[in-house]
Amino acid sequence: MSDFVSDFWSIWITVIVVVGILGVGALLFSQSKTTLKKGEQVQTMGHVWDGDLEEYNNPLPRWWMGMFYLTIFFGIGYLALYPGLGKWTGFFNWTSVGQYKTERAQAEAKYQPLYDKYLKQDIKTVAADKEAQEMGKRLYLTYCMQCHGADARGAKGFPNLTDNDWLYGGNPEQIHQTLVAGRQGQMPPFGAALGEEKVKDLANYVMSLSGKKHDAERAARGKGDFTVCAACHGPDGKGNQGIGAPNLTDNIWLYGGTEKTIIETITNGRANQMPAWKDFLGDGKVHLLTAYVWGLSNNKAAAQ
C-alpha cells in the first residue's frame, strides 16, 4: 500500500474488508434466529419449482454456524496481527521484505564462514574442490540457468558456458569481472546506412569468414563494406574481447549463422545485457560461481 500516492486506496481497502466482515457476520446472525420448536412443522419460503420442488426454511446446523463464527474471529485476529487493512501493518509489523531479510541474514550467518573459506583460495583451487563445485552448481541453477540453461549450453542470444568461445574472455579474472559488474553488448544497426543489397553482400562476406556456404560474388562485393565492422570485429574478423565483439571466423554464432539471421543482425543490430551480481550475491558467492563457470570448460579439458 505504501506504493500508492493517495491515502484514498488505503481507506478504500479498509472499508471493503471491514464492511465485508460485518456483512457476513450480520447475515449469519440473522439466519441464526430461525429456530424450530419440538413438533413444529417446517414452513416453506413460498418458492416452488417443477410443480413439487419447494424451498423450506430449515434452521442452519449449529455446528456449521459455530465454525463460521470461528472463521470470522480468526479473520479479525489475523487482521489485527498482520497487514490487511490498508496501511495498517499489524501488531507484529510483519512484511514480506522483512521476512526475506531475516531469512537471508540467518542463511548468511550459517553459510558465510564456508564462503569465506573458499574466498581465501584461488579460482582454480576452488574449481577442483568437489564440495565447492556442488555449491557453485546450486548457485548457478538458482541464478544463471534461466538464461544459460540447466546444462549451461546457452540458447539463442545467451552464450554457451561449456566451450572455450568467450565474448569477454574466459580466464578466471575476466569471468569474475563479468559476474561482478555485468556486461552490456551493443551491435549497432546498419540496415538504413547500407541498404538491402549491400547488407546481403556483407552477410555473405561474413559467412565466408567462417567457411560457410555463401555466394562468392556477393561476398566479394561485401568485403569492401566490412570496414564498418572491422572497428569492432577486427580487420580479420577475429573479434575483440575487450569490447565483447564476437569472433566471426569460428562458426560459433550467438543468434544463429544462417544467411537470414546474419542479415537480420546487420540490419537491426543486437543488444545484450548480463546483469551485475556483486551487490546481490556478495563476494563469497560470486567467487564460487566464478570457479564453477570457469570449471565448466576447463575441468572437463583437464580431465580429458
Q: What is the pLDDT of residues 227-239, one digit of tens each?
A: 999 999 999 999 9
* 83 compared with 3, residue with greater pLDDT: 83
| pLDDT greater than 80 at residue 183 | yes
Pairing of strands 44-49, 270-274: unpaired
Q: Is the dihedral of CA 36, 37, 39, 45 positive or negative?
A: negative
Q: How far apart (Å, rounded) are the C-alpha atoms in residues 254 and 197? A: 24
Q: How far apart (Å, rounded) are the C-alpha atoms in residues 53 and 266? A: 75
pLDDT digits 0-9 by tens, 70-100: 999 999 999 999 998 888 889 999 998 999 9
Q: How far apart (Å, rounded) are the C-alpha atoms in residues 146 and 139? A: 12
Q: In the chain, pLDDT over 90 holds for what percent of residues?
A: 73
Q: In the chain, pLDDT over 70 holds for what percent of residues?
A: 96
pLDDT digits 0-9 by tens, 16-39: 999 999 999 998 888 887 777 777
Residue 18 CB partners (closer than 8 Å, separation 6+): 85
pTM above 0.75, yes or no: no
Residue 118 CB partners (closer than 8 Å, separation 6+): 126, 129, 132, 135, 284, 287, 288, 291
CB atoms within 10 A of CB 167: 21
DSSP 155: B
Burial 5-34 (b: 16+ CB within 10 A, else e): eeeeebeebbeebeeeeeeebeeeeeeeee
| pLDDT greater than 50 at residue 282 | yes
* 294 compared with 5, residue with greater pLDDT: 294
| pLDDT greater than 90 at residue 46 | no
Report helix, strand or coil for 94.
coil
Q: How far apart (Å, rounded) are the C-alpha atoms in residues 74 and 68? A: 10
| pLDDT greater than 50 at residue 120 | yes
Q: Are 255 and 270 in contact (CB under 8 A)?
A: yes
Res 58: pLDDT: 78
Q: How far apart (Å, rounded) are the C-alpha atoms in residues 246 and 238? A: 7
User: Which pLDDT band holds residue 111 (cuts at 50, 70, 90)?
Assistant: confident
Cα→Cα distances 173→129, 223, 244, 275, Å:
19, 36, 15, 17
Residue 98 CB partners (closer than 8 Å, separation 6+): none
Res 304: pLDDT: 45
pLDDT digits 0-9 by tens, 140-163: 999 999 999 999 999 999 999 999
Beta-bridge mates of residue 158: 155
108: cell is 548468511
pLDDT digits 0-9 by tens, 160-176: 999 999 999 999 999 99
What single-letter amino acid sits at 264? E
Q: Are 59 and 43 in contact (CB under 8 A)?
A: no
Report residue 43 CA to chain centroid gap.
61
Any idea which residue has 419449482 for its cell? 49
Q: Are 190 and 287 in contact (CB under 8 A)?
A: no
